[in-house]
């Protein structure tokens, strides 16, 4: 395998991912059959019932959590990739303006925060195109990366390649980027996969209610320390997934503060957007296909 390094010989690329989904989740008022089932309390009413409480729980991320998260990233000078469901930014123009003003990379997290794995090819093609146009309008940039709501179809990578995307995040198999070959209508095309991570994601606070901020912080720091040590011998990458409505709570935001403080104590870290990571990797380790 070709040998390569991060810029300036850094040991570890740190990818902070801020997921913006609030306002794009399932909602009866948007014509969905039922309300969003992902809820901090795990309360899921029947189909056709509007869950006003959970809607307000999501709005907390825009109204309160966003400032807490972005204030800290900006104070620390840390870049981040915003994985945004396009409709969420349409409905939060002030947040879209902040993202635009501060130069965050925006990765597409769907048109709405819904599962695309049920879509046929025509519907998924429209879903991708609508998301791109919406994000361009909201932020002034055309997204180059894609993250599905966990599941995608057998067509997804081909459709992304044909739409001009540079990288795909829906992979959890490695701690470094890698190439994959995609069968497109005009032949095989290479695409960079920039893997994501579920285990260091703050959504654990919702899926594992007994988890404390100290538990999450300890796991994130342990992950960082192991990857940083391994980075002495080969490039490593760490993903830290954040949600405005989750880590942005007063009782949790301190864990992010302490993680940032720990990172800042290490010189061999390259904090980077996912697009920077994808482009660096493709420049120093070109595809052989």
pLDDT of residue 45: 82
| 1 in any annotated domain | no
pLDDT of residue 17: 98
Q: pLDDT tens track of the chain, all 289 residues?
A: 468 999 999 999 999 999 999 999 999 999 988 899 898 888 888 788 898 989 999 999 999 999 999 999 999 999 999 999 999 999 999 999 999 999 999 999 999 998 888 899 999 999 999 999 999 999 999 999 999 998 888 899 999 999 999 999 999 999 999 999 988 777 788 999 999 999 999 999 999 989 999 999 999 999 999 999 999 999 999 999 999 999 999 999 999 999 999 999 999 999 999 999 999 999 999 988 6
**Domain region containing 265:** 9-284
| Tokens 């899926």 belong to residue | 207
pLDDT of residue 6: 98
Which of 109-145 are b and which e, b meaning 16 or more Cβ less than 10 Å from the residue's Cβ?
bbbbbbebeebeeeebeebbeebbebbeebbeeebbb
Q: Is 95 exposed, middle or buried (0-12, 13-18, 19+ CB in 10 A)?
A: buried
| 140 in any annotated domain | yes
The domain tally of the chain equals: 1
| 4 in any annotated domain | no
| 139 in any annotated domain | yes
The angle subtended at Cα 104 by Cα 82 and Cα 18, nearest 5°, is 25
Q: How far apart are CA 257 and CA 246, in angstroms?
A: 14
81 in helix, strand or coil? strand
Which pair of structure tokens corresponds to residue 201? 């994601």
Q: Which of 166, 175, 180 shows the shortest CA–CA distance to 132?
A: 166
Tens-digit pLDDT profile for residues 28-75:
999 988 899 898 888 888 788 898 989 999 999 999 999 999 999 999
| 97 in any annotated domain | yes
Q: Is the dihedral of CA 65, 71, 73, 74 positive or negative?
A: positive
Which pair of structure tokens corresponds to residue 10? 């850094």
Q: Which residues pair with 15 in a beta bridge?
A: 239
| 263 in any annotated domain | yes
| 3 in any annotated domain | no
| 289 in any annotated domain | no
Residue 204, domain CATH: 3.20.20.370
Model confidence, pTM: 0.95
Q: Which of 61, 103, 111 shows the shortest CA–CA distance to 85?
A: 111
pLDDT of residue 151: 85
Tens-digit pLDDT profile for residues 63-78:
999 999 999 999 999 9
Q: HSE, CB side, 13 Å, CA atoms: give it for residue 203.
A: 15
* DSSP 8-state symbol, 25: S
Q: Is the dihedral of CA 134, 138, 140, 146 positive or negative?
A: negative
pLDDT of residue 61: 98
The angle subtended at Cα 244 by Cα 241 and Cα 245, nearest 5°, is 115
Q: Quote the distance between the C-alpha of residue 242 and its chain's center.
A: 8
């Amino acid at each position: 395998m070709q040998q390569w390094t991060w810029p300036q010989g850094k040991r570890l690329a740190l990818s902070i991912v801020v997921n913006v989904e609030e306002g794009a989740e399932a909602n009866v008022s948007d014509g969905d059959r039922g309300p969003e089932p992902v809820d901090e309390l795990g309360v899921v009413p029947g189909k056709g019932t509007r869950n006003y409480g959970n809607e307000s729980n999501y709005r907390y991320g825009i109204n309160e959590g966003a400032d807490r998260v972005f204030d800290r990233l900006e104070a620390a000078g840390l870049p981040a990739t915003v994985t945004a469901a396009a409709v969420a930014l349409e409905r939060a123009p002030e947040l879209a303006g902040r993202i635009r003003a501060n130069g965050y990379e925006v990765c597409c997290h769907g048109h709405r925060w819904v599962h695309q794995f049920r879509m046929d090819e025509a519907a998924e093609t429209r879903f991708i195109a609508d998301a791109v146009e919406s994000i361009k309008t909201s932020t002034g940039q055309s997204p180059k990366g894609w993250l599905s709501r966990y599941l995608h179809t057998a067509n997804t990578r081909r459709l992304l390649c044909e739409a001009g995307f540079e990288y795909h995040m829906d992979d959890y198999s490695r701690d470094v980027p890698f190439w994959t070959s995609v069968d497109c209508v005009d032949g095989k095309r290479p695409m960079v996969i920039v893997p994501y991570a579920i285990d260091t994601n703050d959504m654990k606070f919702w899926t594992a209610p007994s988890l404390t901020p100290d538990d999450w912080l300890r796991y994130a720091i342990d992950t960082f320390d192991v990857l940083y040590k391994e980075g002495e011998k080969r490039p490593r990458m760490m993903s830290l997934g954040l949600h405005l409505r989750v880590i942005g709570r007063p009782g949790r935001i301190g864990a992010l503060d302490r993680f940032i403080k720990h990172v800042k104590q290490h010189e061999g870290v390259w904090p980077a957007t996912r697009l920077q990571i994808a482009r660096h990797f493709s420049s120093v380790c070109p595809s052989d296909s």
